[in-house]
Amino acid sequence: MRPLILGTAGHIDHGKTSLIKTLTGIDADRLPEEQERGMTIDLGFAHTEIDGRRIGIIDVPGHERFIRNMVAGATGVDMVMLVVAADDAVMPQTREHLEIIDLLGVPGGLIALNKSDLVDEAALDAAERDVRKLIEGTCLEGSPIVRTDALSGRGIDALKVAIAERMTALKWPEWPPLFRLPIDRKFSLQGHGTIVTGSLLGGDVEAGDELELSPRGKKLRVRSVESHGDKHDELGAGRRVALNLPGIKKKEFQRGDELACPGYLRAATRCAVQLQLLGSSPMLLEHSQPFRAHIGTSNIDGRFSFFEGLSEMEPGDSAVAILQTDRDVCATHGQRFIVRASAHGITIGGGTIICSRPPRIDTKAPAPSWVNGLLSSDSKTRVVAALELDPELGGNLKGLYRETGVIPQEAETILADLADQGKILRQPGTKNVGYWTSEFVELKKLAVADKLEAMLLAERPKTRIARGALLKATIGKNGEDLFAWLVDLLVAQGTLRAWPGEIGLTAYEVSLGADERVDYDKILVAYEQAGLSPHPSRQMMAKTGLSEERGKPLLAFAADSGDLVEINSEMILHRKHHDRLLTLLREQFAGGKGLTVSQIKSLFDVSRKYAIPLCEHLDRNAYTKRDGDLRYAGPKLSDSPIKENVAS
């Protein structure tokens, strides 16, 4: 049975905390100051079981000074219990809390008309009428109103029945598939270390999982998982979760931080949003006016930039805008947020995230086409718009989900269909399959070729660069499959040449300077003198008196120019001796004769130490073909050119 999180809402001193204590037996006021003053300041937590379903409860403060804490607590709740005191009826924070839960998209809930023992039936009826009027047009319209009294226990059984009925009646969306936990509390326990808590918005978590702390990007490992004091092997979305995290101190966390599966969230100071100003707002919202935004469990200073030169929004207006914040925040497509006027301390509106990190845009112009695409209710339209916005999302299903709300499995099906239709290109891979626009592929191919040329120029006279170095300099270590595919495309079109572990430009030529030519000739002489039994390249460099740093690029140049032939990473032959070797083989293979390794060893007059790598080189390059213990002439042997200076 699906677990759920119930949040409270309501004006200060209307009995939210007392009602929770009567309902669960748990005092949600945990701070000494709260106990002393009898007023909830920060979030409180309790739990119970109703109708066989485990329910986590978040108690929020009702005072206007602690609205930031109330919004943090309301993030991620499945249903709300609006508490209204019968002797006060509807009060300012009753209205504001209801506006907030409505703006946050809470599916629904119920109303507890508390302190009902303090007034007569007529006053109760009047208070209920006021509440009915208040909730018209909100997520609580038509919800049950239960008359309760926390101190006497009156109506508590009826309240439990109403909660159970609402749990059955309300339609719950599917849990997001990726782990995400906005942090609303942190503390330390002796012998355990740092513990953080929050409402698990999606995915699941178990001990040993690696998580990413956003917005800083720090990787953390989960030591243990608990919910309401009980240890669990694994927990899924819809629960209050406490995670024990080694390797980090309590002071390093702050409310507003989030834990997520690596690669999912992305920190930014700019979001594209759909903004809605409350019809009840007593003020306009001007372009670039300072305000306070509440996103997830964070509250931050920010400003809105409206498109098409819009200078202000009036109460009840909606608009697309760019939200600029004073510090990094993590947001996802479709996530709700609250806007409060910084100077006046009132809630004036809210909205939804369209894009978590848009490019810089001239807001004097109309909104770009991808905005409308991401606002579409059609999954495919949103995916196409996201690729227009950021083509690299085609290789990052977590990022695509962050920007579109389309779950990875569905997104991959959409991308595959687009590839089948020829609208995007499919990149195969052993780790990650990617889907890219043709424009993106051409830009990346150009970037790889340009970077390779720059690296070659910086390291002349090299004519090839280590494959790993070029990968790191262009795509990055997490893009191995994309890089390999781009290199294959560039090789196929004749732009690049590839060797095992190295890459070069087909049209790249190097002319040696006078000093380089002297050292180059030293290397050729050394290898000519070494015959078919050269020392490893490092020792050969020592014989020439050249440093490895000086000699290695010249060796590569010699191999590319054909003056030397690489047998393997350590064995190199002068071209003269390599061609002599091929001539000897042609003579021996005449008439279809086969040779053993021992016979080849004797033919070349080398030890087994050199004969084995020579045979492997000959097989690999089709000069020979192996059949059991014998080697025969390969297809390339008769085609290989022999230079005029070959010694017989």
CA distances from 417 to 386, 410, 474 (A): 16, 11, 29
Helix, strand, or coil (residue 189): strand
Arithmetic mean of pLDDT, 158-168 = 93
Asked if the structure places residue 111 within a domain, the reply is yes
Arithmetic mean of pLDDT, 500-514 = 88
* pLDDT band (50, 70, 90) for residue 614: very high
Please report which residue ranges of 358-466 form alpha helices under DSSP H.
Answer: 369-375, 379-389, 397-404, 408-420, 438-458
Nearest to 100 by CA among 326, 280, 320: 280
Asked if the structure places residue 140 within a domain, the reply is yes
CATH code of residue 498: 1.10.10
Q: What is residue 647's predicted lDDT score, i.e. its pLDDT?
A: 28
324 DSSP 8-state letter: E
Domain end point (choices 207, 231, 260)? 260
* pLDDT band (50, 70, 90) for residue 173: confident
State which H helix or E strand residue 578 sits in: helix 575-589
Asked if the structure places residue 626 within a domain, the reply is yes
Please indicate, yes or no, whether residues 482 and 360 belong to a single structural domain of this protein: no
Count of H-run helices and E-run strands, the chain: 19, 33
* pLDDT band (50, 70, 90) for residue 65: low
* pLDDT for 554 beyond 80: yes
Per-residue pLDDT reduced to its tens digit, 265-280: 999 999 999 999 999 9
Q: What is residue 230's predicted lDDT score, i.e. its pLDDT?
A: 86
Per-residue pLDDT reduced to its tens digit, 397-417: 999 999 999 999 999 999 999
Arithmetic mean of pLDDT, 158-177 = 90
Please indicate, yes or no, whether residues 322 and 418 belong to a single structural domain of this protein: no
Q: What is residue 60's predicted lDDT score, i.e. its pLDDT?
A: 80
Instruction: Please tell me which residue, 637 or 350, carries the higher pLDDT value.
Output: 350
* pLDDT for 611 beyond 80: yes
Q: What is residue 63's predicted lDDT score, i.e. its pLDDT?
A: 61
Asked if the structure places residue 11 within a domain, the reply is yes
Q: What is residue 82's predicted lDDT score, i.e. its pLDDT?
A: 95
Phi, psi dihedral angles at 51 (to 5 degrees): 55, 40
Q: What is residue 12's predicted lDDT score, i.e. its pLDDT?
A: 82
Per-residue pLDDT reduced to its tens digit, 8-46: 999 988 888 899 999 999 886 665 665 555 556 667 788
Parent domain of 622: 527-533+550-633
Nearest to 101 by CA among 124, 134, 53: 134
Please indicate, yes or no, whether residues 137 and 228 belong to a single structural domain of this protein: no
Q: Average pLDDT of the chain?
A: 89
Annotate 169-195 with b (16+ C-beta within 10 A) or e (fewer). ebeeeeebebbbbbbbbbeeeeeeebb
Q: What is residue 648's predicted lDDT score, i.e. its pLDDT?
A: 24
Please indicate, yes or no, whether residues 67 and 122 belong to a single structural domain of this protein: yes
Arithmetic mean of pLDDT, 594-616 = 92
Q: Which residues contact 322 (CB under 8 A, 6 or more apart)?
A: 270, 271, 272, 273, 304, 305, 358, 361, 363
* pLDDT band (50, 70, 90) for residue 77: confident
Please indicate, yes or no, whether residues 415 and 443 belong to a single structural domain of this protein: no
Q: What is residue 126's predicted lDDT score, i.e. its pLDDT?
A: 95
Per-residue pLDDT reduced to its tens digit, 218-256: 999 999 999 888 899 999 888 889 999 998 988 888 878
Please indicate, yes or no, whether residues 475 and 411 belong to a single structural domain of this protein: no
Asked if the structure places residue 188 within a domain, the reply is yes
Domain count, the chain: 6
CATH code of residue 326: 2.40.30.10
* pLDDT band (50, 70, 90) for residue 258: very high
Please indicate, yes or no, whether residues 160 and 75 belong to a single structural domain of this protein: yes
Asked if the structure places residue 318 within a domain, the reply is yes
pTM: 0.79
Instruction: Please tell me which residue, 33 or 86, carries the higher pLDDT value.
Output: 86
Asked if the structure places residue 71 within a domain, the reply is yes
Q: What is residue 70's predicted lDDT score, i.e. its pLDDT?
A: 66
CATH code of residue 571: 1.10.10.10
CA distances from 289 to 301, 313, 325, 351 (A): 10, 11, 12, 16
Please indicate, yes or no, whether residues 30 and 91 belong to a single structural domain of this protein: yes
Percentage with pLDDT > 90 across the chain: 61
Q: Of 1-15, 288-302, 392-406, 614-628, which gets the smallest average pLDDT? A: 1-15
Please indicate, yes or no, whether residues 17 and 159 belong to a single structural domain of this protein: yes
Please indicate, yes or no, whether residues 36 and 115 belong to a single structural domain of this protein: yes
Domain end point (choices 322, 349, 367)? 367
Of the ranges 87-96, 168-177, 584-593, which is most confident?
87-96
Asked if the structure places residue 344 within a domain, the reply is yes
Q: Of 74-83, 203-212, 283-292, which gets the smallest average pLDDT? A: 74-83
Please indicate, yes or no, whether residues 480 and 354 belong to a single structural domain of this protein: no
Instruction: Please tell me which residue, 31 or 382, carries the higher pLDDT value.
Output: 382
Please indicate, yes or no, whether residues 161 and 26 belong to a single structural domain of this protein: yes
Domain end point (choices 260, 291, 311)? 260
* pLDDT band (50, 70, 90) for residue 499: confident
Q: What is residue 638's predicted lDDT score, i.e. its pLDDT?
A: 72
Helix, strand, or coil (residue 425): strand
CATH code of residue 18: 3.40.50.300
